[in-house]
A and B are shown apart, each in its own frame.
Chain A
Amino acid sequence: MISRTVLLILLPVLAIAALTQRRRLSAIIAMGLFSFALAGTYFLLHAPDVAITESAVGAALVTSIYVLAIRKTGRITVVASEAPGLLQRDADRISGLEWEILERVARAAGLDLTLTFLPGDERLDAVRRGDADIAAGGLLAESADGVLETPSHLPTARYELRGPAGQRHAAAPDRSPPAYFSEVVDAVRACAALSMTLDLARFHTLSRYDLGAYEVRSMEGRGGYTFAVSPDRDDLYRHVVEELSKMRESGELDRSVRRHFP
């Protein structure tokens, strides 16, 4: 009798708890608990048939289809710009430091990765809208609004490139690097006039070419590369942070950096 009363009082408490949750997953879990309590109540009300059916259908089956429906069904959507060394396309393979980190995160979270290439500015918007989970590919830490920024995994210096030596053409537009990187490579190959701010990954790629004609200057202040994670996916954020610290401790991160930036 007492246990029945306790269960009966527990029911509205669980129901209110379920319906006032902000996150869907916790609401669903609370509702699953409610169903179990309900099944227990039925058992104490001398209705074992109903109790069994309720725990099979209400608690187990309903909860599992809710969870199946609301999980982002097994994938992490990444939006990225191509950044040599960090995340690049070689034929039909994706490689790079950031891709390695993301693969580890996906393995830890038990999810698949899908990658979409977007130009620089649109990545953060996609993450903010919730269309994508993570933005990557040479994203510099700059405390952007509406996204979760992970701690920097690779410090970067910025370099200013000018040339050919001293001849600054007024007509050369002062472009930001990511979207127009291939043009920069072409310009360097042709030894054309250029005035450019570069981050480490791009500078590294450029340094394969002969930069003798240009004036290279390291700029003030040091930035770092980060990932931007959608605020709805704080689970992913935690995974990224965990994986990064693990890689740092085991020295895996350093080895990886050396592999991709010889």
Chain B
Amino acid sequence: MRHVPLRLLLPALLLVGAFCAAVWVTFDYPGPDRHAADDWVDAARLTGAVNVVSAIYLNVRLLDTLLEVLVFSVAVLGVRFYLRERGHVETVDSIPESHVLRLSSDLLLPVILLLGIQLTAYGHLAPGGGFSGGVAAGTGLLLAAIALGADAVARRFHEGALAHLEWAVLLCALFLAAFPVAFGRPPLSDLLPPGTPGGLASGGSILLYNVLIGVKVFIGTWIMLHHFILHRGEV
């Protein structure tokens, strides 16, 4: 906060203060309670999912979710585009292995990957879902990259193939979701039956979407992290 000129500091304090005061005073919180959870419980019962949030996220408001996955893909694409072509061909020497790091990565990585799969697969039954599962698993790979070197991990997960897989999965998700959104009747489960609530094979197509999104986000996260590792810039 050093060296802030007064002609910036004073208006900033004044305007930000006025903004916060205006919002706080007229928000009228806590006001009259308009509780609407019951509608959502009914909607979730229709879909067969136990986790009401995932019923909304992947069934009632699937259109939002599709757009959001597109936003994420555009971001991955942008990171690839801007970090790839900077003429850095030298390979990154792995950070020298330390025994503790190696061991912790060996122990932790499977746990994290399992956690990711569990979050994805049980998204319709418990908190979690494809997105957090994919991100958790993708970040787990970062740990492996620190311990074994990014190249070692990248050799195992060939990036060109991964990128293609990513787009294929996205296309699949778009295709599988577009038709229920456009033609379906609630609960958008034209693809799969709702099943008995509580079982793994329930919740209609929520499980399917969760798996698709999980795979896509896992790949996207790893591609993004890999480019950040490869890029030897400075900030």
A and B, direct touch (CB closer than 8 Å): yes
Say whether chain A's binding surface is mostly helix, strand, loop, or mixed.
helix
State whether the Cβ of A8 lies closer than 8 Å to any Cβ in chain B.
no
Q: Give, as a whole number of angstroms, the nearest-CB distance from B151 to chain A.
A: 12
Which residues of chain A come closer than 8 Å to B62, judged between CB atoms? Answer: none
Q: Which of A20, A49, A60, A112 contacts B129 (CB 8 A)?
A: A49
Interface pair B225/A49, CB less than 8 Å apart = no
How does the 8 Å CB contact mask read for B214-229 relative to A, with 1 for contact and 0 for none?
0000000100110011
Which residues of chain A come closer than 8 Å to B119, judged between CB atoms? Answer: 52
Which residues of chain A come closer than 8 Å to B231, judged between CB atoms? Answer: 73
State whether the Cβ of B60 lies closer than 8 Å to any Cβ in chain A.
no
Q: Which of A63-71, A80-88, A189-197, A211-219 contacts B (4 or more CB under 8 A)?
A: A63-71
Q: How far is the CA of A68 from the CA of B232 in the complex (A)?
A: 10
Q: Give, as a whole number of angstroms, the nearest-CB distance from A127 to chain B.
A: 14
Q: Evaluate whether A68 and B225 lie within 8 angstroms (CB atoms) in the complex, with A74-B95, A75-B232 already known.
A: yes
Interface pair B96/A49, CB less than 8 Å apart = no
Question: For chain A, which range describes its interface: under 10, 10 to 19, 20 to 34, or 35 or more residues?
Answer: 20 to 34
Interface pair B131/A53, CB less than 8 Å apart = yes
Which residues of chain A come closer than 8 Å to B139, judged between CB atoms? Answer: 56, 60-61, 64
Count of inter-chain pairs, beta carbons less than 8 A: 62
State whether the Cβ of B144 lies closer than 8 Å to any Cβ in chain A.
no
Q: Which of B53, B135, B228, B234 contacts A57 (CB 8 A)?
A: B135
How does the 8 Å CB contact mask read for B105-140 relative to A, with 1 for contact and 0 for none?
000000000000001000000011101100110110
Query: For residue B224, which residue of chain A has the nearest CB?
Result: A65
State whether the Cβ of B1 lies closer than 8 Å to any Cβ in chain A.
yes
State whether the Cβ of B200 lies closer than 8 Å to any Cβ in chain A.
no
Q: Which of A53, A57, A65, A75 contacts B225 (CB 8 A)?
A: A65
Interface pair B135/A60, CB less than 8 Å apart = yes
State whether the Cβ of B51 lies closer than 8 Å to any Cβ in chain A.
yes
Q: Which of B93, B221, B232, B234 contacts A61 (CB 8 A)?
A: B221
Interface pair B221/A52, CB less than 8 Å apart = no
Which residues of chain B come closer than 8 Å to A61, judged between CB atoms? Answer: 135, 138-139, 221
Which residues of chain B come closer than 8 Å to A74, judged between CB atoms? Answer: 92-93, 95, 232
Interface pair B136/A110, CB less than 8 Å apart = no
Interface pair A60/B136, CB less than 8 Å apart = yes
Interface pair B132/A56, CB less than 8 Å apart = yes
Q: Which of A20, A51, A75 contacts B127 (CB 8 A)?
A: A51
Q: How far is the CA of A56 from the CA of B112 in the complex (A)?
A: 11
Which residues of chain B come closer than 8 Å to A24, judged between CB atoms? Answer: 235
Q: Give, as a whole number of angstroms, the nearest-CB distance from B16 to chain A.
A: 13
Q: How far is the CA of A75 from the CA of B139 in the complex (A)?
A: 23
Q: How far is the CA of A39 from the CA of B95 in the complex (A)?
A: 31
Query: For residue A63, which residue of chain B has the nearest CB?
Result: B139
Query: For residue B226, which residue of chain A has the nearest CB?
Result: A68
Interface pair B96/A110, CB less than 8 Å apart = yes
Interface pair B234/A53, CB less than 8 Å apart = no
State whether the Cβ of A107 lies closer than 8 Å to any Cβ in chain B.
yes
Interface pair B136/A56, CB less than 8 Å apart = yes
Interface pair A73/B51, CB less than 8 Å apart = no
Give the residues from 7 to 62 in chain A that come closer than 8 angstroms, CB to CB, to chain B: 20, 24, 48-49, 51-53, 56-57, 60-61
Interface pair B127/A110, CB less than 8 Å apart = no
Q: How far is the CA of A75 from the CA of B93 in the complex (A)?
A: 10
Residues of A bordering B, CB below 8 Å: 20, 24, 48-49, 51-53, 56-57, 60-61, 64-65, 68-70, 72-75, 107, 110, 112
Residues of B bordering A, CB below 8 Å: 1, 51, 53-54, 92-93, 95-96, 119, 127-129, 131-132, 135-136, 138-139, 142, 221, 224-225, 228-229, 231-235
18 intermolecular pairs with C-beta atoms under 8 Å apart? A48-B127, A49-B54, A52-B119, A52-B127, A53-B131, A56-B135, A57-B131, A60-B135, A61-B138, A64-B142, A68-B225, A70-B235, A73-B231, A73-B233, A73-B234, A74-B93, A75-B232, A110-B95
Q: Report, nearest first, the 3 A-B pairs whose CB atoms are least far apart.
A: A48-B127, A68-B228, A73-B232
